[in-house]
Amino acid sequence: MTERTVPSLILGICFVAGLAIGGYQLAEGIVRFQTLNRSVVVKGLSEQEVPADIAIWPIRFKQADNQLGNLINGIDEKNQQIITFLQSKGFARDDVSISPPSITDNEANSYVDTSKIRFRYTADSVVTVYTSEVNKVRTAMQDVGELGRQGIAFSTDDYNARTEFLFNGLNDLKPKMIEEATQKAREVAEKFARDSDSKLGKIKSARQGVFQINDRDRNTPYIKRVRVISTVEYYLVD
């Protein structure tokens, strides 16, 4: 072995050793990086039942006549009968509104056989109650048959005449429900960490779902179910 060969051999050994050490450190770095990015995504649900705080009650009726003037007079008379009925049930006049009537001239319809028309004019009219006294509406709805006895043919199964019950107090519920949903998500994450022999780390990301307000069921639309789902991603550490 010559004198020049020895330094070259030493240099080669150092180079190989350096690659080995560097490779180990690089591999260790990748493992650490992956470990730091181990995470679990969990969801937490918060749900509450609340009473509706607004009622919108439309009372729709039909009127027919061959004279337009008589038709209008008949609508005005029945509107007043409905208002009197509502006031007798405890509603203030400010709670009640009257929509302009929708009037149809049946003889103007070219697709209708005018010889079979009994009344030339027909009209729909709506008197609407808008109130925060939900229970008062529910009680009055049970007595609406009184209007029928007064000769008012009101609609009860018309889609456009359905009573609506609303809940407007969502802002008061949001903080507590978000806290509850987040806490439930953490409980799930903690259980997952225990089952995987890990510990729960910091929150990596969090997403709050959209609040949903639905009827509890089709028979009790005046009771609402409010729900929200929070999605949280936690780091897992050993």
The whole-chain average pLDDT of the chain stands at 86
Residue 150 and residue 59 in contact, taking contact as beta carbons nearer than 8 Å? no
Among residues 142, 139, 62, 73, which one has the least CA distance to residue 103?
62
Q: What is the pLDDT of residue 38?
A: 86
Give the β-pairing of 54-65 and 154-155.
Answer: antiparallel
* pLDDT digits 0-9 by tens, 35-55: 456 899 999 999 999 999 999
In this prediction, residues 27-33 reach a mean pLDDT of 38
Cα distances from 166 to residues 54, 56, 181, 195, in angstroms, run 5, 8, 23, 44
Global pTM reads 0.75
Angle at 131 between CA 129 and CA 133, to 5 degrees: 120
Does 13 or 167 have the greater pLDDT score?
Answer: 167
Query: CA gyration radius for the chain?
Result: 36
At 197, list the tokens: 């022999």
Round to whole Å and give the CA distance between 33 and 138: 62
What type of residue is 89? K
Residue with structure tokens 């008062």?
136
Consecutive H or E run containing 111: none
pLDDT digits (tens, 9 = 90+) for 170-202: 999 999 999 999 999 999 999 999 998 999 999
For the chain, which domains are there?
A: 37-52+168-238 (3.30.110.170), 54-166 (3.30.70.2970)
Task: List Cβ neighbours of 112 (8 Å cut-off, separation of 6 or more).
Answer: 106
Contact criterion met (CB below 8 Å) for 62 and 153 = yes
135: pLDDT confidence band, cut at 50, 70 and 90?
A: very high
pLDDT digits (tens, 9 = 90+) for 92-119: 999 999 999 999 998 887 677 767 788 9
